[in-house]
Chain A
Amino acid sequence: MSDPGLESLYREVILDHYKNPRGHGVIEGADAEAEGQNPLCGDEVSVYVAFGEDGETIDDVKFSGRGCAISQAATSMLMEMVGGRTATEVASLDKDELLAEIGVPLSPIRLKCAMLGLTTLKVALHKAKGTPLPEGLAGFDELDLI
């Protein structure tokens, strides 16, 4: 059977991140923040970033919101991945890097769930630092991103 079984899609590490999300919370007075929505299911995620003294390196990053295990776990993993990186580095972070971390094959629909956090983080960095927008959003007017 080529279908991903229960064990692979909902493997232990995903469930662990879902039940104990890393970086879950809000940064008051964040240097960068954005809210993202998945129109397929109405899920929402907000991402908050605080930069270090150089104003470029991510010192702290948190997320809040609600979503499925895949979106919550992926965002939780992302929080662990981006600490200490610069805004420019994160803006060009390839989605495959996050997918490798998630480590399970995802259908196109679930891919949207998995990418919600990364897309929202890139939008937050774009708004604060003018870094490039994530794939698929390039060319959007600023108005559409609010």
Chain B
Amino acid sequence: MTGAVCGRAIKGRCERAGYHLRVAVKAVAKLNAHTLRADFPIFEQEIHGKPLAFLDSAASSQKPRQVLDAMTDFYETSYANVHRGVYVLAERATEALEHARERVGAFLNAPDAREVIFTRNATEGINLVAYAWGLSNLGPGDLVIVTELEHHSNFVPWQFIAGKTGAELRMIPLDEQGELDLSVLDEVARGGTVKVVATNLISNSLGTINPVAKLAEWAHAQGAIYVCDAAQGAPHTKVDVQALGVDFLAISGHKMCGPSGASALWGRTELLLAMDPFLTGGHMINSVRLEKTTWGELPHKFEAGTAPMAEAVGLGAAIDYLEAVGLDAIEAHEHELAAYALGRLGEVPGIKLYGPPADRRAGIVSFNLEGIHPHDVAQILDLQGVAIRAGHHCCQPLMQKLGVAATNRASFYLYTIPEEIDQLVDGLQAVRKVFA
């Protein structure tokens, strides 16, 4: 970790002093994955007698001890239900939850931490927008535009709400490289009023990095809102909601070293204020009478029931951890691994690799072995200690486009080391032997 922090400091000092011209090559912060791995207890075991090669971080990341300790500490020293309590523990717990909210807000460069709503997962965040904004703002003749790359989390809620309101769901298609074909945007929008554009920042299946800022600009020119699914983006690259120019953005805590159960939705204040609540019940009210209930202030209006308190504390600690390592260092590390993986996997006979070139993708590589089903590939890899995902990755429209039922997917994170990719490649050779 020391190396990463150092790298950031040097880069920051150069920028502050205005020394850009003195450095011929921009200092790229490096992280040391071998060192960082020691923070993750999960790697202290063998699987089927082999070292664990965990290549499924896009589904969920592993947790550093710092995050686990923060949660344990919260339970052991500060646990009580938050808000409204007037005793010391309730105050401590409230402070811890609100501190976590501020950490998320700062992480996303949100203008105001009250715009950060804790959710169970990114899917819930998108459902919140689809229901609370969509049900009152969509109708016949309106268009909701998603992409062929979407995770079901940013596809099914819109399809469902479009169906309820009479709006139409359309998709921005992919080109041959697995990147969005922006040349057809106006065609996709033809004959309707674009009300929502909803895309991911990084594809969970192909690793494609989408031009969100550009798409948001186009969406706003159409008078639409822009909803960004950053579940896969936030763990891997610096997300700045103001720079991206989006209206809503959902992140997934468990994909970025946080625990399962605490994620967040960011939304613009004026939109959140104008919206109905999503879930109703305890905590989210101002006053409740038989005739009428009034809603609480932001963010409470959207946080019915007891919050995932310890999990939110864990998410805050995860953000501390990621920022100490450095998001730019994480991004550079993943690009390096993606390039290495694409090269090494390319050596395997009969492999088909999907998605854009390494420099335009995050640390995610989807592939198929000719004539061998991904389930069989993943099962045989498991016996060699290699964990990858096999299936449709919650992207059935994309699988249809690729003309397959499923793919294998290896995905990397800050703790991934090249040796794990070597173990994958060796494993694939063994798979080929079984099916030879």
Contacts and interface: CB of A to CB of B under 8 A. Distances in A.
Contacts of A6: 380, 383, 430, 434
A59 B411 CA distance: 48
Contacts of B391: 40-42
Interface stretch (A23-31, A67-75, A92-100, A132-140): A67-75
Contact of A10 (B48, B380, B396): B380
Contacts of A9: 379, 383
B87 interface: no
B406 A41 contact: yes
A15 B434 contact: yes
Contacts of B383: 3, 5-6, 9
Contact of B405 (A44, A69, A70): A44
A5 B434 CA distance: 12
B245 to A, nearest CB: 35
Contacts of B376: 10, 68-70
Nearest to B430: A6
Interface in A48-92: 66-72
A41 B374 contact: yes
Contacts of B379: 9, 110
Contacts of A5: 383
B226 to A, nearest CB: 29
Given A43-B405, A67-B373, A68-B375, A1 B49 contact: yes
Nearest to B436: A15
Among A6, A15, A40, chain B packs the most CB atoms within 10 A around the CB of A6
Among A6, A44, A68, chain B packs the most CB atoms within 10 A around the CB of A68
B434 A10 contact: yes
Interface range on chain B: under 10, 10 to 19, 20 to 34, or 35 or more?
20 to 34
Contacts of B392: 41-42
A49 B22 CA distance: 77
B14 interface: no
A42 B390 contact: no
B19 interface: no
Contacts of B375: 41, 68-71, 110, 113
A42 B406 contact: yes
Contacts of A69: 372-373, 375-376, 435
Interface string B17-53: 0000000000000000000000000000000110000
A112 to B, nearest CB: 10
Interface residues of A, number: 21
B399 interface: yes
A6 B429 CA distance: 13
B124 to A, nearest CB: 20
A98 B99 CA distance: 56
Interface string A32-43: 000000001111
B399 A42 contact: yes
B243 to A, nearest CB: 36
Given A6-B383, A10-B434, A110-B379, A68 B373 contact: yes
A44 B392 CA distance: 13
Contacts of B405: 41-44, 66-67
Interface string B49-60: 100000000000
A102 to B, nearest CB: 14
Given A1-B48, A6-B434, A67-B373, A41 B380 contact: no
A43 B434 contact: no
Contacts of B430: 6
Nearest to B434: A10
Nearest to A66: B405
B396 A42 contact: yes
A11 B114 CA distance: 58
Contacts of A3: 48, 383
A35 B325 CA distance: 50
A15 B406 CA distance: 20
Interface in B380-394: 380, 383, 390-392
Nearest to B400: A42
A70 B390 CA distance: 14
A40 B399 CA distance: 13
A59 B430 CA distance: 41
Contacts of B390: 41
Contacts of B380: 6, 10
A8 B379 CA distance: 12
A68 B379 CA distance: 10
Contacts of A70: 375-376
Among B379, B383, B390, B430, chain A packs the most CB atoms within 10 A around the CB of B379
Contacts of A113: 375
Closest 3 interchain pairs by CB? Answer: A68-B375, A68-B373, A42-B405
Interface of B: 48-49, 372-376, 379-380, 383, 390-392, 396, 399, 405-406, 430, 434-435
Given A6-B380, A40-B391, A110-B375, 18 more contacts: A6-B434, A41-B374, A41-B375, A41-B390, A42-B391, A42-B399, A43-B373, A44-B405, A67-B373, A68-B373, A68-B374, A68-B376, A69-B375, A69-B435, A70-B375, A70-B376, A110-B379, A113-B375
16 contacts: A1-B49, A9-B383, A10-B376, A15-B434, A40-B391, A41-B375, A41-B391, A41-B405, A42-B392, A42-B399, A42-B406, A68-B375, A69-B376, A69-B435, A70-B375, A110-B375
